[in-house]
């Protein structure tokens, strides 16, 4: 959900976080998972509490020239919840902090909250905290998602073993294609305010960009089919970042198959029309909010019962690096742009 690129790619965002994290020792017995995963995990006497906070700053994370406030509300909840899903946890509550300037009236705040409420309702999540403050100009939305997980079902990024299958939910690059269309029409509009945007037949791409759904169905299906992934990650920044997060944390390598990356025909043709290489968009486009997880080969039969899941590759030894294999059996290094550039 970041529209900008960092100009200092030497030390990537996640490397920098890992470096800065070193100054924070973990001392409390109740700290289960600290800095460096999708969410933080705390031990309570029974289930574990999983917490993730996301901050959304106007013109950095969203552009109100084409994002309706109601959709934005829905999306920020999806984004925050997805970090809990990336731990195999079930979201239960969230708290909100909204900083507004005098550019926004009560009606605008209400529209935003309606969208938040809509996603919370479909996700069975209670909004248990709401704070308002002032901003100088921009809208700043902070969502803290809180969830719960049985200790035996908690899955971190660490835990993938060689030959395990790499699975992903949903399809990829649609949200990125949607963003490109919205940005294109914004430019057209800026040049000619009389112009009407043309999104005929592109509804799916816009919906994926503007109002993504949290993949609660996957978390439920994994429980139903009694599949416990060995490692798991949310996919907010493209497949490359997610697979590298799992591989790094698990000290492994991977091979993905280009032909297995799930993508709709509409996404494929739209990207082609826009002169974008579709595999690059799936690997680095971002904003998909799908889930990636690794499973033992023994779970292969079970995973077939879970709808909307594709097996896109497998875990290899660390020395194999991070590879993507084309239909012609040519192997390329995965370039995790999202991983480094964010």
CB 127 within 8 A of CB 88: no
Stretch that binds its own copies, among 90-98, 162-170, 190-198, 265-273 (CB under 8 A): 90-98
The residues in 56-85 that bind its own copies, with binding defined as CB under 8 A, are: 57, 59-61
Tell the smallest beta-carbon distance from residue 222 to its own copies (Å): 21
Applying CB under 8 A, among 78, 82, 92, 267 the residue interacting with its own copies is: 92
Q: Does 331 bind its own copies (CB under 8 A)?
A: no
In whole angstroms, give the CA distance from residue 210 to residue 72: 7
Strand 290-295 to 165-169 pairing: antiparallel
Residue 310 main-chain phi, psi, to 5 deg = -120, 145
The residues in 130-159 that bind its own copies, with binding defined as CB under 8 A, are: 130-136, 138, 140, 142, 144, 146, 148
Q: Does 325 bind its own copies (CB under 8 A)?
A: no
Q: Does 28 bind its own copies (CB under 8 A)?
A: yes
Applying CB under 8 A, among 31, 65, 163, 305 the residue interacting with its own copies is: 31
Judged by CB, which is closer to its own copies: 125, or 306? Answer: 125
Q: Does 16 bind its own copies (CB under 8 A)?
A: yes
Applying CB under 8 A, among 71, 80, 102, 267 the residue interacting with its own copies is: 102
Tell the smallest beta-carbon distance from residue 214 to its own copies (Å): 16
Q: Does 103 bind its own copies (CB under 8 A)?
A: no
Return the residue matching tokens 């997805």.
82
The residues in 104-123 that bind its own copies, with binding defined as CB under 8 A, are: 106, 109-110, 113-114, 117, 120
Applying CB under 8 A, among 63, 64, 68, 93 the residue interacting with its own copies is: 93
Judged by CB, which is closer to its own copies: 132, or 277? Answer: 132
The residues in 36-55 that bind its own copies, with binding defined as CB under 8 A, are: 39-42, 44-47, 49, 51-55
Judged by CB, which is closer to its own copies: 133, or 163? Answer: 133
Tell the smallest beta-carbon distance from residue 19 to its own copies (Å): 9
Stretch that binds its own copies, among 4-12, 191-199, 224-232, 244-252 (CB under 8 A): 4-12
Q: How many residues bind its own copies (CB under 8 A)?
A: 72
Tell the smallest beta-carbon distance from residue 286 to its own copies (Å): 13
């Amino acid at each position: 959900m970041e529209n900008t690129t960092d100009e200092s790619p030497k030390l990537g965002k996640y490397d920098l976080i890992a470096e800065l994290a070193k100054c924070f020792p973990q001392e409390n017995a109740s700290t289960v998972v600290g800095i460096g995963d999708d969410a933080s995990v705390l031990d309570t006497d029974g289930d574990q509490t999983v917490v993730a906070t996301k901050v959304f700053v106007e013109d950095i994370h969203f552009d109100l020239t084409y994002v309706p406030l109601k959709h934005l509300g829905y999306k920020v909840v999806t984004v925050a919840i997805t970090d809990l899903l990336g731990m195999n946890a079930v979201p239960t509550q969230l708290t909100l902090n909204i900083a507004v300037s005098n550019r926004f009236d009560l009606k605008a705040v209400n529209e935003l909250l309606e969208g938040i409420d809509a996603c919370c309702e479909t996700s069975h999540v209670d909004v248990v905290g709401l704070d308002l403050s002032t901003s100088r100009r921009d809208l700043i939305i902070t969502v803290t998602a809180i969830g719960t997980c049985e200790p035996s079902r908690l899955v971190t990024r660490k835990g993938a073993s060689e030959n395990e299958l790499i699975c992903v939910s949903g399809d990829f690059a649609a949200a990125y294609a949607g963003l490109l269309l919205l940005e294109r029409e914004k430019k057209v509009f800026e040049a000619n305010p009389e112009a009407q945007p043309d999104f005929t037949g592109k509804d799916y791409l816009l919906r994926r960009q503007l109002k993504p759904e949290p993949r609660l169905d996957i978390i439920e299906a994994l429980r139903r089919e009694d599949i416990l992934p060995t490692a798991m990650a949310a996919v907010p920044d493209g497949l490359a970042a997610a697979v590298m997060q799992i591989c790094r944390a698990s000290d492994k390598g991977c091979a993905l198959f280009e032909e297995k990356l799930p993508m709709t025909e509409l996404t494929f043709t739209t990207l082609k029309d826009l002169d974008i290489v579709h595999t690059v968009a799936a690997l680095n486009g971002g904003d998909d909010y799908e889930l990636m997880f690794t499973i033992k080969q023994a779970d292969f039969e079970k995973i077939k019962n879970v709808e909307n899941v594709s097996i896109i590759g497998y875990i290899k030894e660390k020395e194999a690096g991070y590879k993507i294999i084309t239909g012609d059996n040519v192997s390329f290094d995965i370039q995790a742009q999202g991983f480094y550039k964010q």
